[in-house]
Structure 1
Amino acid sequence: MNDPVEVLEVKQVIISRRKSNPPQIEIYATGLVSGEGWAKGFLEPALYGVADPVISPSDGIQDYRFLAYPPEPAAGKSVSNAADPLYLVDACTIIPMKDVPPWFKGVRVHAVKNTVERTFGQKKPEKGMVFLKGALKQGVECPLLVTDDGEVYSLSGQVALPPEGTIVYIEGEIIDYSYCMAGIPLRIISIRTEKLTLSTL
């Protein structure tokens, strides 16, 4: 197997507190790779903080490199090529709350082309694209998404939804108006009930 390398670009990062016993923090990220056949990604912590609690970052943000294992190249072909289609790959890290240092405020995930930072309690954008995790709930007028931090989104879009109570991952667009009278209006672009494995764009 080839050595892991940084993915090309971080697309989304979700940081949430899992209501488990014992409680945990989940860091979930999706990113772009060039060509198919990559193994599942993973998040490598910087050598401080979570990896070495004696040393802490001054801003309270834990850095991670988003890595994935590239496929073995075919004869006469490089591992990646600028003409290759882009694919999505994901990574997830679970940290027990007992192991979370007191300075921990959020994460910063690095790729070749960009860096994405997320913090607890970070204000969601008022408009534009978002990537959310939460539980489905049936509202009075329309279905709702309730995120781990308690925010409520009213859902619209021509997408079949799983049963109420299902934990889902939604890519959507915050819109100006909805006939629903509860939550932040969100038009669903894609929805899934499992974490990403690997899919083409």
Structure 2
Amino acid sequence: MVDQALDVAALLLPPVMPVVAAFLALLCWRIGAWRAAALCLLGPAAACLTTAALKPLLARPSGTGEGWMFPSGHVTVVAAVAAAGAVVLLPDGVLASRLSLAWRRVARVSVLLVPAATSLGTAGHRYHHPTDVVGALLVATVAVLLVAAALDRGPRASPMTRDGPAATIGDAHRSHEPRRPSAGPAAADVGAGNAQTPTRRPSCHDQTRC
């Protein structure tokens, strides 16, 4: 039963993950987290392009003699989408505060279980060598983290987000918290005026006992 489940994961999850990435990007876009939405799309794309570039460079032949093996493209796309999902869904992510406790637990399990099942199924059924799988996991993780760092290094106030200064992926959701009103210049002027107003002393014209 477990062996069959891993085989299904290795074969069916890779084609589904681009749809998952688009769905996560849509959720981030709907709350105005433009950088997080970009990460969900650009992170996996960068990982897949890196894998496609490495295959002919490293040139590990497949068992059939057609194409190259290292790193695994199927594992790359699954791991990259899972890594992007971890950034936006786990505790400091922009979507974390939008999820109930139960859904947060599901998200935490999914971002670990999905790439693990795909990796085990791919290596266990000899679709790829174990080193192909490990290489794909490393490529996916590094690519997504580099894209996230590049997005966070951009201008902190840009059209990519509706939240103004809170433009980074890790802190965009905190911009939705209510802000305390601060005492403006007018309030300060009033306080200064009250402090500088001299006390009027009674004069002989005001008192009958002068």
More helix by share: 2
Q: Structures share a fold, TM > 0.5?
A: no
In terms of Rg, which structure is larger? 2
Structure with the greater relative contact order (CA < 8 A, sep ≥ 6): 1 or 2? Answer: 2
Q: TM-score when scaled to structure 1?
A: 0.21
Q: TM-score when scaled to structure 2?
A: 0.20
